[in-house]
Structure 1
Amino acid sequence: MTVGVSDGSCVHKLIVYDPAKFKYMKVGHTIVTRETIRREEDGIRTIIITKNSKVFMGAPMEVPSAHDTQADRIVNPPPAEEKSVKDALGSPAKKKITVKGKVVQEDEIKTVSVRGEEVKIKTIMLKDSTETAKITLWRDLATADTRPGDYIQVTDVVVNIYNNQASLQTTSRSNVKKSEIPEVKKVVTVEGICIDDTEAELFLDDESTLQIELCILLSALSLESDEDIMANGSFKLDVVCSGDRILSAIAAT
């Protein structure tokens, strides 16, 4: 949980990792904290509350009204700039970026120890048209509803380098949500075809497959019957795909 708090002179970002302390984080309440972690995050003074931290209810206090707006910007910041997976992996350390792609692999949730606290993490592999990257989802995001085949957006990730291998990991600002399947233009080489009534499955030279309506395929090849589709061997198509389905196609040279 992330909240904005004011000490009367400035606004801080408060990150709460212990669910048992969520009940204290209500608008208008005054709290006193002990045994917290303090650091700068994106130029904002940040207080981190863990399982080992102490939170006390305090006496009411007045704060400048302008602090309400500042706190709202802290709690609801716009997501970081979206980049391709390849560009994200090459980003400077600590620079937050947003990525979007298809989940192609998902590991089991596991628990690691961070400063004496047991924390959930999950690793997924995210692929777009440029690259595939490992993304480590931390804490609450480890239980995000992601499955292989889903197209998702992961906001505000940062690069992590380990053993000279770049990967991505979520931050306290990160969010995971389902996204629309992107449309991609490309040229494919068809090596084989399987026809089922009005649908066709194309076997490509990279051993992947794509689905297409038979009428779209016949129109692209200027054919009236499916009997002659493979008569001259393999052929190329210039296609627009959404996932594994071809939306439009024309013959390519």
Structure 2
Amino acid sequence: MKTLEEAFRDSTLSSTPYSGALKVKVCGVGPVIAYRNANGEQRQSTVIGFADRTMAVKGVLYDSSKLDVVKLGHTVMLLNVIIKNETVRSLVITNRSKVLKTGPLDVPESLVTQGKEIAFPPPAAEVSIKTAQSSPTKTLVTLRGQVVSEEMQRSVRVNGEETSVRTIKVKDITGTCKVSLWRDLTKTKTSVGSHIIISDVVVQLYNDEKSVSSTVRTKIEEVTVPEVCKTLQFIAYEEEDGQTIKLTAEEDGEYPEYLVKKASLSSALKCETRDMENNLMKKLPVSAAITVKENKILTMTI
């Protein structure tokens, strides 16, 4: 019986029916995902993380009745699967495949971990809204921001099926972005003014506007806004109102804006409020250590 590594090495085509047996450990069982095929028929699939002593690999199970055998931590024998020897190697398990119970298999813990991460990939990297909007389409990202508006749920036709969708707008210190929430996520509560982390959304382009859309992996979590301490280089400013100054910083190639009370800025500059602007003009650009919550400066030391 071949190992996973040998089976993939001997498979020269991108997709090959495999008549041999493969003994593997189930390292992770992802959620059951419902979808419609090209004929509009309702189907289900599940991503499984498999491993043996040589490698971990993605399994895609299209026959949910076999989930009774594919249990986390169990060892199974796979027969009549399809080997996908593409950029992401995978085993396709159809209704013609067999998944049989068998004796235990010793698998290195590092490969068990890899198999688990195949079934439950870590969230996409958290980026600013500006970075997301400059990313290529189909890029998976995670965003953190404040909900500034939300629309009513509506229904649209997708592949001939009525599908629910709801759009919200999220902002951070770098910009504002539309987020399209699909299917069950339309029911997730997202109050205007709340701060959320929304993971694994995909960048899309529609009518020349970059936005993001939920995926089967998307999760929404309401969070509190933390106080963050950092040192920034401030390069310009403008008056926001009679009591507040808006400072522009240069930060990792972006130019976020922060609000600071004139009294706090005067204290940091060690001057009277009436002399604040003259003193600030003389010092710009200026480095300052700040404590900030969202875009509001709480403390400042120059």
TM-score (normalised: structure 2) = 0.51
The residue correspondences of 1:42-61 to structure 2 (distance < 5 A) are 43=88, 61=100
Residue 62, structure 1, aligned to residue 101, structure 2: yes
Deviations 1:14-67 (A, max 9, x none): 699xxxx99x789649xxxxxxxxx9x9937699xxxxxxxx9x9973378669
Structure 1 residues 162, 127: closer, same or farther in 2, change over 3 A? Answer: same
> Any unmatched runs of 5+ in structure 2?
1-30, 33-45, 73-83, 248-257, 281-287
Q: Aligned with 1:189: secondary structure?
A: strand
Residue in structure 2 matched with residue 33 of structure 1 by the alignment? none
Counterpart of 1:160? Answer: 204
How far 1:119 sits from its partner (Å)?
Answer: 2.3
- What residue in structure 2 maps to residue 197 of structure 1? none
Q: Deviations over 1:109-164 (max 9, x none)?
A: 22222223332221111111212111111222222221222221222222211121
Quote the Cα distance in structure 2 between the aligned partners of 1:161 and 1:81: 20
Residues 90, 233 of structure 1: alpha-carbon distance in 2 compared, 3 angstrom cutoff:
closer
Q: 1:170 and 2:214 equivalent?
A: yes
Structure 1, gaps ≥5 residues long: 30-38, 48-55, 194-201
**2:255 matched residue in structure 1:** none
Letter in 2 for 1:126: V
Q: Which structure would you say has the larger Rg?
A: 2
- Match status 1:132 vs 2:210: no
The corresponding residue for 1:94 is 138
Contact 2:144 2:197 in 1 (8 A): yes
Cα distance in 2 for residues equivalent to 1:42 and 1:143: 35
Aligned residue pairs: how many? 213
Match for residue 147 of structure 1? 191
**Cross-structure match for 2:150:** 106
Give the secondary-structure state (helix, strand or coil) at the position aligned to 1:61: strand
Partner-residue secondary structure (3-state), 2:101: coil
- Secondary structure of 1:140's partner? helix
Which of residues 241, 248, 253 in structure 1 aligns to 2:292? 241
Deviation of 1:80 after TM superposition, in Å, equals 1.2
Q: CA 1:188–1:102 in structure 2 vs 1: closer, same or farther (change >3 Å)?
A: farther
Cα 1:25–1:171 shift into 2, 3 Å: farther
Aligned residue number for residue 4 of structure 1: 47
Deviates more, 1:64-73 or 1:84-93: 64-73
Identity score, percent: 29
Deviation at 1:94, TM superposition (A): 1.8
Shift of 1:5: 4.4
- 1:192 to 2:242 alignment: yes
Q: Give the aligned residue type for 1:4.
A: V
